[in-house]
Amino acid sequence: MRKKIDSYLGFAKRSRNLLMGYNTCLLAMNKRKIKLLIVADDVSENTMKKMVGSAEEHQVVYRIYSTCDELSQACGTMGRGVFGITDQNFANVILKEIDENQSI
C-alpha cells in the first residue's frame, strides 16, 4: 500500500498537481485550489494546529499521514511536511489509499 501512495504522489508532482510547503499550501487553501491536504504526523505542534485549523476553515479534506522524511522522499524533495493535492481525481485516489492504509 505504501508504494501506491508514493507513486501517486510522484505522479501528482510530475503533473504539477502537488504543492509542497507550509506557506504555499496556506496560500492555495485561501484561493480554494487544494482538494486534499496531507500533513506529516511529525511536524511541529504549531504547524499541525495552523494547517488543520485552516483546512477546517476552508472545508478542505485533510489527512495526517506518515513522516516528513517518508513523504519528502516520495515527492523527491527534502524537509517538507505539508503537501497539497490540487487535482480532484488524484485527491480521491490518494485519500482512498491513505484511508485503507490507516485502517489496516
Please report the domains of the chain, with CATH numbers, ordered by start residue: 2-103 (3.30.1330.30)
* Mean pLDDT value of segment 71-89: 91
Percent of the chain with pLDDT over 70: 97
Q: Quick one: DSSP state of residue 62?
A: E
CA 34/CA 89 separation, integer angstroms: 12
* Mean pLDDT value of segment 67-81: 88
pLDDT of residue 104: 66
* Mean pLDDT value of segment 89-103: 89
Give the burial class of 23: count Cβ atoms within 10 A of its Cβ; 0-12 exposed, 13-18 middle, 19 or more buried.
exposed
Q: Does 1 score more than 70 pLDDT?
A: no
What is the biggest distance separating any 2 CA atoms in the chain, rounded to whole angstroms? 35
Least reliable range by pLDDT among 10-19, 42-51, 82-91, 95-104: 95-104
Q: Does 2 score more than 90 pLDDT?
A: no
